[in-house]
C-alpha cells in the first residue's frame, strides 16, 4: 500500500537505485542503507538521472553488512525490506571468505533485524549463481528447483557466496523467522540504464566491448535481464501473496553468447560501436590472458558452457513481461554514451 515505509539495503548500487526509483514512483516512502552517509548526494543524483527527485520521501541510515550497528534503526517502522546489498568485486578475492562471510552474515543480520521489528516480508536479491553452477551443465533450461552445488568443481567465490547466503536465509526463515515472510529474486546478468559510475559487473562487459578493450569475444554464454525488470520483480514479490516462500528467476529470454551481444551492439549502436570486436577468441588465448588478468581468470571455468534458464514461473505467478535481451543491452550502451562513460564520449565531454 502506498505510503508504507520500505527499507532498500545498498541504495547506492545499480539494482538498489532502480528499486528506490520504482518504489517512490508507486508512492512508497523509502529508507536506504549506505556504508557511509557521505554517499547520500551521490545516490540522490543517480535517482534524478532516473527521473525521480526523492525529496523527503527518502531517508538514509549508515549500516554495514559486516557489523550489527545501524540495522535496528534501519528496519524500524518498515513494512517491507528489499535486501539488495551484497559484495560483488570485479576480481576474485584473495580468500573466498572475504565474500562468503559478509554475504551470509549480512543476509542473516537483515533478516534478524526485520523479524525483531515486525517487518511483514523481506525480498532477498540472490542470483542465477545459486542455481546453475557446480554441476554437470543441464541440457534443459535451469529453473527455481535447481541449486548450485557450492562444493562442485570450478565454483568461484562469488557463486559460492550467493548460494550459501540464500540457503542460510531460507534456513533462518524455516527455523527462526517467526511471522517474517521471505521471497527471493535470482537475476542472471543485469543490464539496462546506468544511472552513474556505480554499476554491476555485467555492465563492465558492455563497457569493455564498446571501448575496444577486448581483442575479441570469449566463448561465453549468459543470461541477460533489464535492471528495470529486476526492480519490478522485487516490488511485485514484496506484496504479491503468490510470492511468499518462493524464489524467482529474473531472465529476459534465452541465454546469449558474448558474440551475439557484440553483434547486437554493432547493429544498433552505429558509430558508437566502432570499437566493438566480433572476432571469436580461441579458448587458449583467453587462458593465456587469465594468467595476467584476475578478472579474466574468473571467466575461464565458464568457457564454452552453454546454459539456459526459464522465466516461466515468474510469468505464471507474477505476470512478468520482460524487456527483450536486445533492448536491455542497447539501453545499457545508450546510457553509457549519454553519461560519458565510454572512451569516445569522455573525449567529447573534455
DSSP 88-145: --SS--SSTHHHHHHHHHHHHHHHHHHHHHT-SEEEEE--GGGTS-SSPPPSSPB-TT
Predicted confidence (pLDDT) at residue 348 exceeds the cutoff of 50:
no
Percent of the chain beyond pLDDT 70? Answer: 95
What would the pLDDT profile of 45-97 be if each residue is shown by its tens digit?
A: 999 999 999 999 999 999 999 999 999 999 999 999 999 998 666 566 788 99
pLDDT of residue 84: 96
Q: What is the pLDDT of residues 253-283, one digit of tens each?
A: 999 999 999 999 999 999 999 999 999 999 9
Which residue bears the cell 554493432? 266
The sign of the torsion formed by the CA atoms of 236, 72, 175, 250 equals: positive
Would you give the DSSP letter of residue 214? S
**From CA 217, how far away is CA 278, in angstroms rounded?**
6
Q: Smallest Cα–Cα separation from 226: which of 261, 196, 252? A: 252
> What is the percent of the chain with per-residue pLDDT over 90, rounded to a whole number?
81
pLDDT computed for residue 137 by the predictor = 87
Residues 167, 174 contacting (CB under 8 angstroms): no
Q: Are 86 and 106 in contact (CB under 8 A)?
A: yes
Q: What is the pLDDT of residue 293?
A: 83
Give mean pLDDT, residues 294-306.
86
Q: What is the mean pLDDT of residues 34-46?
A: 95
What mean pLDDT is reported for the chain?
93
pLDDT at 349 > cutoff 80:
no
Asked if the model's pLDDT at residue 167 lies above 70, the reply is: yes
Classify burial at 154, counting beta carbons within 10 Å of its beta carbon; exposed 0-12, middle 13-18, buried 19 or more.
exposed
User: Measured between alpha carbons, how far is 245 from 261 in angstroms, rounded to an integer?
Assistant: 34
For the chain, domain boundaries:
5-194+223-253+308-322
Rounded to whole angstroms, the Cα distance separating 75 from 7 reads 6
DSSP 8-state assignment for residue 190:
E
Q: What is the mean pLDDT of residues 300-327?
A: 96
- The three-state secondary structure class of 2 is coil
Q: How far apart are CA 42 and CA 110, in angstroms?
A: 24
Confidence of residue 345 (pLDDT cuts 50, 70, 90): low
183-235 pLDDT per residue, tens: 999 999 999 999 987 777 789 889 999 999 888 999 999 999 999 999 999 99
Q: What is the pLDDT of residue 227?
A: 97
CATH architecture of 5-194+223-253+308-322: 3-Layer(aba) Sandwich (3.40)
DSSP 50: T
Report the predicted TM-score, pTM, of the whole model to 2 decimal places.
0.95
Which DSSP state fits 215?
S
Amino acid at each position: 500500500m502506498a505510503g508504507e515505509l520500505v527499507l532498500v539495503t545498498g541504495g547506492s548500487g545499480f539494482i538498489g537505485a532502480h528499486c528506490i526509483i520504482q518504489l517512490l514512483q508507486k508512492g512508497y516512502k523509502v529508507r536506504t542503507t549506505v556504508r557511509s552517509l557521505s554517499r547520500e548526494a551521490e545516490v540522490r543524483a543517480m535517482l534524478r538521472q532516473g527521473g525521480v527527485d526523492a525529496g523527503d520521501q527518502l531517508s538514509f541510515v549508515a549500516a554495514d553488512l559486516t557489523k550489527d550497528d545501524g540495522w535496528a534503526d534501519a528496519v524500524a517502522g518498515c513494512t517491507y525490506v528489499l535486501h539488495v546489498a551484497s559484495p560483488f568485486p570485479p576480481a576474485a578475492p584473495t580468500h573466498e571468505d572475504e565474500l562468503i562471510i559478509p554475504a551470509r552474515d549480512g543476509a542473516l543480520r537483515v533478516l534478524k533485524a526485520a523479524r525483531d521489528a515486525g517487518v511483514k516480508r523481506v525480498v532477498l536479491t540472490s542470483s542465477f549463481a545459486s542455481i546453475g553452477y557446480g554441476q554437470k551443465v543441464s541440457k534443459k533450461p535451469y529453473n527455481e528447483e535447481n541449486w548450485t552445488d557450492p562444493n562442485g568443481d570450478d565454483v568461484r567465490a562469488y557463486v559460492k557466496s550467493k548460494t550459501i547466503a540464500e540457503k542460510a536465509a531460507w534456513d533462518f526463515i524455516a527455523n527462526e523467522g517467526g511471522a517474517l515472510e521471505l521471497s527471493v529474486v535470482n537475476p542472471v546478468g543485469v543490464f539496462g540504464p546506468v544511472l552513474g559510475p556505480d554499476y554491476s559487473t555485467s555492465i563492465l562487459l558492455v563497457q569493455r566491448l564498446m571501448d575496444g578493450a577486448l581483442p575479441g569475444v570469449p566463448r561465453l554464454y549468459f543470461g541477460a535481464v533489464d535492471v528495470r525488470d529486476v526492480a519490478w520483480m522485487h516490488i511485485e514479490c514484496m506484496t504479491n501473496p503468490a510470492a511468499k516462500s518462493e524464489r524467482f528467476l529474473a531472465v529476459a529470454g534465452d541465454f546469449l553468447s558474448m558474440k551475439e551481444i557484440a553483434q547486437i551492439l554493432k547493429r544498433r549502436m552505429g558509430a558508437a560501436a566502432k570499437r566493438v570486436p566480433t572476432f571469436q577468441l580461441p579458448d587458449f588465448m583467453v587462458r593465456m590472458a587469465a594468467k595476467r588478468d584476475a578478472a579474466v581468470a574468473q571467466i575461464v571455468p565458464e568457457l564454452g558452457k552453454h546454459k539456459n534458464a526459464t522465466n516461466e514461473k515468474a510469468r505464471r505467478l507474477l505476470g512478468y513481461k520482460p524487456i527483450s535481451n536486445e533492448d536491455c543491452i542497447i539501453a545499457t550502451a545508450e546510457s553509457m554514451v549519454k553519461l560519458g562513460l565510454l572512451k569516445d564520449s569522455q573525449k567529447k565531454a573534455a
